[in-house]
Amino acid sequence: MRVVVTGAAGFIGSNLIQGLNSIGVDDVIAVDDLSEGLKYRNLLGAQISDYFDKDEFYTRFAKGELGQVDAVLHEGACSDTMEHNGRFMLDNNYRCSKNLLDACMTQGTRLLYASSAATYGGSDTFREEPRYEQPLNVYGFSKLLFDNVVRRMLTRAPQQVVGFRYFNVYGPREQHKGRMASVAFHHFNQFYEHGRVKLFGVYGGYAPGEQRRDFVFVDDVVAVNLWFLQNPDARGIFNLGTGRAQPFNDIAMATVNAVRVTKGEGTLTLPEMLREGLIEYVDFPESLVGKYQCHTQADLSRLRDVGCDHVFVDVASGVGNYVKWLNHDKLTAAT
């Protein structure tokens, strides 16, 4: 099998390559923009057959110059929810994806792509239906615009097309994302550097730290992508989360306790952490008022209906594994 992964040096893309390699797929064409050169680290140890800069790839692939490609796993996008340049966002996330879709359909190549739970925005129901899609920013709109194109062509598509609405993904190889990295990543670094974790206080009718998200470990995201790759008759747009909404307090607790365990210290409850100053609540920022999802929870009905019965880990287990990786990464970087 010959597979292209766009956004290959990014967070989910690099983990997908590791997952592909684990099932024996090593004819992998990696596509990215390595202007930020340090992202190369995410590809260390990966088995790839070629690398293309994103500008070169899209042009050559559309012309059929790369030969037979079985599937494209399209993770390349601007994922900055605070980016307000709509022209830039639509060019990167919509037009690029639309051109890629057209090329895939012409060449008989399957397309599995990254959508986002940001398509739901202000909704309180997270089901893959237009009536629940109310994006709060141009990022969410750019993803929804492409999803709607896919919806219109699914019944006549000559081969598999799958969109994954990722919820709050966390895990290894996201260090390059800066402020857009997961809360688990930021909590680890805050606790490592300052001995405490910061969370938003009261907002949206939620008590401090009790805003809830569907946090999904990147290994689970990879597993679901690979399931669809191995089941080419399954197609459509699917939520990819755990189906559980957990408060940010749970992420903070899991991070602090996982770090404590690595130091041979005992675990603590939330009240104990608050008393010891290990968790601190800060005022909700004005810049996010009206643009922030206080509750997300993937409806997995459609995913289960097509036969994907993958079991997702909870926050305590996922964050525990992630902290081990982060500790190892810090030790490796220091030597």
pLDDT tens for each residue of 183-199: 999 999 999 999 999 99
Spatial separation of the C-alpha atoms in residues 317 and 320, rounded to whole Å: 5
Which residues are the active-site residues?
139, 177
Tokens representing 311 are 């079991």
Asked if pLDDT for residue 235 goes beyond 90, the answer is yes
Asked if 217 contacts 313 with a C-beta cutoff of 8 angstroms, the reply is yes
- Relative to beta strand 2-6, strand 71-74 is parallel
Distance of CA 5 to the CA centre of its chain: 14
Spatial separation of the C-alpha atoms in residues 7 and 57, rounded to whole Å: 12
Asked if 273 contacts 202 with a C-beta cutoff of 8 angstroms, the reply is no
- DSSP 8-state secondary structure symbol assigned to residue 191: H
Please name which of 180, 169, 227 lies closest in space to residue 14, comparing C-alpha atoms.
169
Average pLDDT over residues 160-189: 95
User: What is the per-residue pLDDT for 7?
Assistant: 97
Average pLDDT over residues 231-248: 97
User: Which of 85-94's residues contact partners 24+ apart within 8 Å by CB, and which partners?
Assistant: 85/138, 86/138, 86/141, 89/138, 89/139, 89/141, 89/142, 90/138, 90/142, 90/145, 92/142, 93/139, 93/142, 93/143, 93/146, 94/142, 94/145, 94/146
- 3-state DSSP assignment of residue 200: strand
| Alpha helix positions (H), 92-182 | 96-107, 138-153
Angle at 320 between CA 76 and CA 243, to 5 degrees: 60
Q: How confident is the model at residue 331 (pLDDT cuts 50, 70, 90)?
A: low
Choice among 9-13, 36-40, 325-329 with the minimum mean pLDDT: 325-329
* Global confidence as pTM: 0.94
Asked if 38 contacts 176 with a C-beta cutoff of 8 angstroms, the reply is yes
- DSSP 8-state secondary structure symbol assigned to residue 206: B
